[in-house]
Structure 1
């Protein structure tokens, strides 16, 4: 069983923790957050985000929606120390490539030959059609639909319910 520390205790952090509970191969040992929250969903706060240095022997998942902050923390932790968390209801084709530190939420579909970089968020009910590329630190909100062959560039955010037509390259946030 892999032990992981979650960085972030906001709404997305709670969703990530709940997803870990449904994965028998992962165990959350605590979370780091700068808020006054001391525990949630039975998981205790271990310290502030800057306390990462105290836990170098552990693996991390960065449960923060802000792409720039997620990138900064991911670089601080190091890609090899990031854990990808996938909800058991997600359908992912066998030839899909998924990087480190990604979050794949409830009822997500990722179709053939798509590639996800590191530290990406794909939220509830999003669909990634075949041959898509999501670059590092990108973020799909709830219910996003990517047509086939779409490329989402590094740190781009796609707002809930957006439809990105096939073959497009998205270089900046769509809100």
Structure 2
């Protein structure tokens, strides 16, 4: 794809490297640098590109000529990503989104700014997605549902129809939200948790704790121990 725009990735984590790879493969953005807050600046380069201080990046990379994507995950219930995105806008940068061409996004879905949607997501009709939302791979977002600002949806999450996911919430791998449920803001829903009722603000749902059986696999399957 022809590279017609320049992009700075804020962050130097694994997600930052993944974002670089996806923007490079699928979009018109050319990634030209990484930026981190000065107190976390530990190296000058990453993947052959400069790593600069976030506070002064505008001096080297003009906001009028560059966009920004903040590659932070769910740190502080997504507040780090939200804060750095807002600070980037204040510096005059446009915020970039990545929407995988291998995701299924129905034609009337409404998407906010600064979103990252991985491959194999299914987003059904009349869904509304707010700003600064990350959807890792393989989720199902049911019809007429709303995902509000600053959420992080990890992999293989099922959000059924007519659901409302509150701001800043985190939904863990393989969790399920049945239809017509309101998840309040600042919720943490752990892996494989099923939500069948509306939740309170800042609710924390721990995953079930699984203990090993009293017999091991050798005995259960009648295999001679090695």
Q: Same fold (TM over 0.5)?
A: yes
Say which of 51, 55, 59 aligns to 1:50: 55
Determine the structure 1 residue equivalent to 2:196. Answer: none
Determine the structure 2 residue equivalent to 1:121. Answer: 134
Determine the structure 2 residue equivalent to 1:101. Answer: 114
User: Residues 88 and 106 of structure 1 are in contact (CA less than 8 Å); yes or no, is this contact kept in structure 2?
Assistant: yes
**1:112 lines up with 2:125 in the alignment:** yes
Per-residue deviation, 1:134: 0.9
**Paired residues, number:** 173
Superimposed CA distance per residue, residues 52-88 of structure 1 (whole angstroms, 9 cap, x where no aligned partner): 4434332111110120101111211229711111122
> TM-score, normalization: structure 1?
0.90
Which of the pair has more CA radius of gyration? 2
User: Residues 139 and 156 of structure 2 are in contact (CA less than 8 Å); yes or no, is this contact kept in structure 1?
Assistant: yes
Structure 1: which 5+ residue stretches go unaligned?
A: none
Determine the structure 2 residue equivalent to 1:135. Answer: 148
Superimposed CA distance per residue, residues 14-62 of structure 1 (whole angstroms, 9 cap, x where no aligned partner): 221121122242221111133535213x4x1331333344343321111
Say which of 170, 185, 189 aligns to 1:174: 189
C-alpha change, 1:23 and 1:149, in structure 2 (3 Å) is same
- Cα distance in 2 for partners of 1:29, 1:169 equals 40
**1:70 lines up with 2:75 in the alignment:** no
User: Residues 158 and 174 of structure 1 are in contact (CA less than 8 Å); yes or no, is this contact kept in structure 2?
Assistant: yes
- Cα distance in 2 for partners of 1:19, 1:87 equals 8
User: Residues 52 and 77 of structure 1 are in contact (CA less than 8 Å); yes or no, is this contact kept in structure 2?
Assistant: no
Say which of 26, 31, 35 aligns to 1:32: 35
> TM-score, normalization: structure 2?
0.71
User: Residues 33 and 52 of structure 2 are in contact (CA less than 8 Å); yes or no, is this contact kept in structure 1?
Assistant: no
- Cα distance in 1 for partners of 2:165, 2:55 equals 30
Aligned-residue CA RMSD in angstroms? 1.8
**1:84 lines up with 2:89 in the alignment:** no
- Cα distance in 2 for partners of 1:162, 1:140 equals 10
**1:9 lines up with 2:12 in the alignment:** yes
Superimposed CA distance per residue, residues 132-161 of structure 1 (whole angstroms, 9 cap, x where no aligned partner): 111111110111111111111111111111
